[in-house]
Structure 1
Amino acid sequence: MGILSVEILGTFSMVMLICFSTIYLYFNISYQYWKRRGVPYLKPKFPTGNSSSLFRKTRVFPLATMDFYKEIKKRGWKFGGVYTVLRPVLVIVDPALMKNILLTDFQYFIDRGFYYNEKDDPISAHLFALDEKSWKNMRIKLTPTFTSGKMKMMFPAVVQKSRYMVDAIIKCAENNEDVDINEFLAKFTTDVIGDCALGMECNSFTNPQAEFRTAGRKLKKFNGILHLLQVTITSNSPDLALKLGFPAVEKDISDFFRMAVKKGVQYRKDNNVTRPDFFQLLINMMQETKNNDKPFTMDQLVAQVFLFFVAGFDTSSSTMNFALYELAQAPDIQDKLRNEINAVLKKHNDEITYENLKEMQYLQQVLDETMRKYPAVPVLQRKCVKDYKMRDSEIVIEKGTAVLIPIISLHMDPDYYPQPTKFDPERFTPEMKQARNPFLHIPFGEGPRNCIGLRFGMMQSKIGLIQILKNFKLSISPNTNMPLQLDRDAFLLKSVETLYLRAERI
C-alpha cells in the first residue's frame, strides 16, 4: 500500500473517529435530560437508551414497560424516566398519579402523542391519534354513535355473524379437526365490522381471501427494513417524519379503505339505502354538517371507518382468544359460565338479546379477568401539552414529554392481585370491584380519552363467547405449544404461538 493510500486511510479513520465521538457526546448530553430535571431515571446505554434496539416495530414500548415498571417500583419510586433511543419518556407506576394524568389533570395530557399525517395520509387522522386541536371536536361528533340505543340497532347484525362462526366450528368438530380459534374469531369480528362500519358482506368464512380479512392480516404484518426505519423515525422524530411526508398507514391499505368507503357511500346514495349501522351514522353526519364551518368530511369519514375496523376486529378477537385459552384449561370455570349462559337463555326462549347480556354476571367477570391478564392495549401513552407540576412534588414535566402508563404491569402486580398469573374471575365479583381502587383495572383506559367503542367491543365479545360456549366444550389441542408466549413487540397484545382448540359439540 502506497504512502498516499495510508494517508487517505488515516484521514478517513480520523474523520470516522470524530463523527463517532460527536455522536457519542450528543447522546451523552441527551441522556442527562432526566437528571437535569430532577427526575429519578433508569440508566440508559449508548446508543439505544433503555430500548433493546435502535429500531422499533411499533410506535410505543409494548411489553418492555413491564421491565421498567418492576425496576422503578423496586426502587420505591412513583415514576421514573427512561429513553427510547434519544427521546425521554416518563413511566408511571403509582395508580394515584395515573388517575391525575388520565382524569384529574387531563387538560395537561389531552394528547396521546401518536404520529399522524393529515396532509399526506388523511386516513391516519382518526380519533385515536388526533391531538387536542382536533380531538375534542371529533369526540363530540362521534360520541352519539356509541350510545346504548345505537348498540341495540347493530345487535342483530353481530348475532347473525356469530352464527357463521358457529357453523365453521361445527365442521371442525365433526371432522375432529383443530380450531385455529384466533383466525375464526378474527373472521367473525371482521364480518361484524364490515357490516356495521361499511354495510358490506365480507364473507370471511366462505371466502378465505375476502378483501377485509386480507386487509386485517396486512395490518398486523411487519413489512421489512424500510417499514422498521419509518416507524423508528415517526416514533422518535415526528416533526422530521412530517417534513419527509411519511405516512402512518401503508399506502395499499389506505387506498383500499378509501375506495371501499367511497363505493359504500355512493351505493347508498344511488340506491336510496339507509341502514341502522355505524356507517350510516357517519354518512348522516357528513350530510348534516356539509354547510358548517367545520364540516365532517369524506377524509374524516374514511379515517373513522378505518379506526373502527382496526380497533373493532383486532381488540375483540384478541380478548375472546385469551378468554377461551383460559377457559379451555379450566373446565370448572368453563362449565360454570356455560351453566349461567344456558340458564339466562332458557328464561328468554333461547334467544340472545341486548338486555339479557346484562343478566350474565359471571360472563362479565370472565371478561374482566381476561382483560386484567391480557389487556388488548397493554400500554397507554399520553403527551404533556403544557408544563405540568407533579402534585406533592417540585418536579415539572415539560411540555411535549411522552408519558407511559403500563396497564399490563399494573394488572399483573402481586401487590394488587395476589397470584397474578392465576386466572380467577372471582376477583371481579361486585363486592371485590367495589372494594378495589378502580384505577387498578383500566383495560379501556380511563378519563375523557378512554376507548369510545368499549360498549361495542364488550357486546361483540360477549356474543362471540356465548355462541361458542353454548354449542361446544373446549379443550387445548396437543398441537398448541404451551404455555402461550406474548409477543413483546406487538402494539395490540397477541401471542407468538397459534392457539389450537378442540371443540366437542354439545
Structure 2
Amino acid sequence: MSEFQNSKLTMDLAFILPSSVICLLIYLYLVKNYNHWHKQNVPHERYPVPGFGHILPLFTLRHHMGTLVQKFHLAMGKSSMYGCYVMRTPAIVLRDPNLIKNVLQSNFSSFCNNLLSVHEHEDPILSKNPFFAKDDLWMESRVLLSKNFSGKRLKCMLVVVSRVCDRMMKHINKFRKDDGGAEFELKDLFSKVSAEVIANSAFGMEGHSFENQPGTYSIVNIAKDIFDPSIVRYIHQLILYFLPKVAKIMRIGIVPKETSDFIKNHIKNFATTRLQSGEVSGDYLQFSMEDLSVTDEDMLIAKATSILFDGYETTSSVLGFMIYRLSENVKVQDRAREEVMSVLRRFDNRLTYEAVNNLDYLERVMMETMRLHPVFGDIIKICNSEITLEGYDKLSCQLRPKDIVIISTMGMHMDEEFWSNPTEFEPDRFDPKNLSKWHKYTFLGFGTGPRVCPGKRMGTMIVKAITAVLLKNYTLRKSPRMKGPLRLNTSTFAAVVDDGLWVNFEMIKSHD
C-alpha cells in the first residue's frame, strides 16, 4: 500500500471513528429510557422510534392526536394501564376508571398541570388562561374566571345569543333555494356563530362574522388565525407540546404577535373608554372590569379573552357534530323539536334562561354528541411527584416527576366494557334514571375534577339555545355530499372532519 493510500486511510479513520462514536452516543441518549415499562412489567407499545418514541405518526400527519391515543387504548385490551413513550419520556395510558379518578380528582395535587404550556413572552394573553397556567397561577386565574359563569352573567349572555341567532337565521335564509332548503358546512357556519357570540359578549364589539369579507381583525378571522387547520401552525403546536424548550428558543407561540397586540390594545382602549364615559353594559368586558382593579391590565385581558380561547372551538365543534347527528337521526330530531316547542309554549314562546334550562332532552342529545365526538380526544397530565398507581388487575407503575399520564377520551367513550353499543347515537344514556349504569369517570367530555371545563354551564346554555332556534325553524336533512366514515383532519389537535359536515336546513313553514 502506497504512502498516499496509508495517509488517506488514516484520515478516513480519523473522521469515521469519532463520527461513529458521536452517532452511537446520540443514539444511546435517544433510547436510554425505552426499557422503562419493561422493567416495571407494565404492558407497553413496542418498537419506539429513537427520539420520537411512539408519536412519530403525529409529525408525519398519519394520525390525529385523539386517534393515536385511542389506538393505544385499543391495544391495551382489558388492562388497566399501558405504557408508551412520548419523545423520550415514559407515558402511561390509563383505562381503569378508578385510576382516572385517582389522577383527575383524588390525587390531583400530583397531576395538577396539563402537558401543554406556553411562555409568557410569546403568549402573554394565554399565559394566565386556566388551561395553560400551572400551579398557583392556575388556581388564581381559575378563581377569577369562574366569576364569568354566574347565573346573572349567563342571563346577560343569553340576550347576546338570541341576537346572534336572529343574524344566523338571516344568513341561512339568504342561501335558501327554490325548494326552501339551504346547504351549509357546519364547522364553517358555527364558527361564524360562535365568533359573533364571543365578539358581542366578551369584547363588546360587533363581530361582522356573517359578512362576505369580514375585516382582518374581526373575531372570526382572529379565531381562524389561531384555530383553523394549517400545517405550519400544527407543526408549531407539536413543538410547543413536545419540545417546549425548543419552542422557547424559536419563540413559538399560539397567538400571532400582531393578533395578540390587537386584542390587548382593543381591550385597553375599550376599558378606558368605558371608565371615562361611565357606561354600564352587560358584556363580559364590563364584568371583568368590575372583578379586577383598573391597574391589573394583564389579568383583565386574560379574563376577557378566556371566552374566545375556551369557547370558540368547543362551541362550534359541539354544535357542528350535534346538528349533523340530528340530521341523520330523524326520530331523535323530532323528539328534540317536540320538547323545544313544548317548553317554548310554557314560556310565552320566548327563549328565556329558564326555558333553556328546561330543555332536558336537548341536553342529553348534546352529551351523547360529546361522547361520540369529544372536542379533544385526550387528556394529558404531567406528574409532579413520585407516586404509585395500581389498577383493578393488580398492574402497578411507579411514576416520577415529569412522567406523562394519558387518558384517551375517545377510547373511554367508545369502550364496550363501559358503554353498551358505543357506536350508536342514544341520548337516553344520559337520562337521570340511567346515570347509575355507567361510571362517572368513563365520560370525560368536559374533563372532570378541579380542572373540569370552567365554561361548562356557559357552553351548554349556548349550544342548547342555538340548537333550539334551529329546531324550531328548520328541518335538518343530511346532505348527499356526506359520504363514507368521518375522518379527522390530522393537521390540528381539535376535532375537525376532513371534507366537512354538510347539512340541509329546510324552513318549517308553520307550527301547530
Fold similarity call, TM over 0.5: yes
Q: TM-score scaled by structure 2?
A: 0.89
Which runs of no fewer than 5 residues in structure 1 stay unpaired? 291-296
For residue 108 of structure 1, what is the amino acid of its counterpart? S
Q: Deviations over 1:455-475 (max 9, x none)?
A: 110111011101111111111
Structure 1 residues 435 and 414 mapped into 2: Cα distance closer, same or farther (>3 Å)? Answer: closer
Contact 2:37 2:43 in 1 (8 A): yes
C-alpha displacement of 1:36: 4.2
Q: Distance in 1 between matches of 2:187 and 2:44?
A: 39
Structure 2 distance, partners of 1:51, 1:192, is 36
Is the counterpart of residue 144 in structure 1 residue 147 in structure 2? yes
Alignment of 1:476-487 (within 5 A): 476-487=478-489
Distance 2:195 2:297 in 1: 22
Partner of 1:191 in structure 2?
196
Q: Is the 8 A contact 1:27 1:46 kept in 2?
A: no
Q: Report the Cα distance in structure 1 between the residues aligned to 2:10 and 2:269, rounded to whole angstroms.
A: 66
Secondary structure class of the residue paired with 1:304:
helix
**Residues of 2 paired with 1:378 and 1:54: CA distance?**
14
Counterpart of 2:168 in structure 1 is: 165
Provide the alpha-carbon RMSD of the alignment.
2.6
Residue 8 of structure 1 deviates from its aligned partner by: 6.3
Counterpart position of 1:132 = 135
Q: Which one-letter code corresponds to 2:342 in the other structure?
A: A
Give the corresponding residue for 1:294: none
231, 236, 243: which one pairs with 2:242? 236
Letter in 1 for 2:223: G
C-alpha distance 250-39 of structure 1, shift in aligned 2 (>3 A): farther
SS in 2 for 1:448: helix
Alpha-carbon distance between aligned partners in 1 of 2:73 and 2:418, rounded to the nearest angstrom = 14
1:12-71 Cα deviation digits (max 9, x unpaired): 55555444322222222121233345544222422331123473789x943211000011
Question: Could you say what secondary structure the match of 2:194 adopts?
Answer: helix
How do 1:211-226 residues align onto structure 2 when only pairs under 5 Å count? 211-222=218-229, 224=231
Aligned position for 2:310: 311
- Deviation at residue 151 of structure 1 after TM alignment: 0.8
CA contact (8 A) 1:116 1:124 kept: yes
Q: Deviations over 1:108-147 (max 9, x none)?
A: 1111132111244312211111111211122122222212
How far 1:448 sits from its partner (Å)?
A: 0.9
Which residue of the partner structure matches residue 82 of structure 1?
A: 84
State the alpha-carbon separation in 1 of the partners of residues 194 and 412 from structure 2.
28
Match of 1:49 in 2: 53
% of aligned pairs identical?
A: 26
Between 1:452-461 and 1:399-408, the stretch displaced more is 399-408
1:253 CA drift (Å): 2.9
Tell me the secondary structure at the aligned position of residue 343 of structure 1. Answer: helix
Corresponding letter in the other structure for 2:256 = E
Cα distance in 1 between the residues matched to 2:299 and 2:467:
33
Matched residue, 1:293:
none
* Matched position secondary structure for 1:122: coil
**Which stretch shows the higher mean deviation, 110-119 or 194-203?**
110-119
41, 61, 67: which one aligns with 1:63? 67
- Pair 1:286–1:315, CA change in 2 (3 A): same
SS at match of 1:483: coil
Matched ranges for 1:106-117 at <5 A? 106-117=108-119
Return the letter of the residue paired with 1:159: S
Is there any run of 5+ residues in structure 2 with no aligned partner, and where?
none
1:286-435 map, 5 Å: 286-287=292-293, 290=295, 297-391=296-390, 395-435=397-437
Q: Paired residue for 1:255?
A: 261
* Contact 1:57–1:231 (Cα < 8 Å) also in 2: no
Give the deviation of 1:255 after TM superposition: 2.4
Distance 1:438 1:14, change over 3 A: same
| More moved, 210-219 vs 172-181 | 172-181
* CA distance 1:418–1:208, change in 2 (3 Å): farther
Partner AA of 1:220 in structure 2? F
1:495 corresponds, among 494, 497, 505, to 497
Give the match's secondary structure for 1:173: coil
SS at match of 2:176: helix
Deviations 1:287-323 (A, max 9, x none): 26x5xxxxxx322332333332022121111111111
Q: Match for 1:319: what amino acid?
A: V
Name 1:93's counterpart in structure 2.
95
Distance 2:142 2:483 in 1: 42
Following the alignment from structure 1 to structure 2, what is the Cα–Cα distance between the partners of residues 212 and 197? 10
Structure 2: distance between partners of 1:89 and 1:61 = 14
SS at structure 1 position matched to 2:476: strand
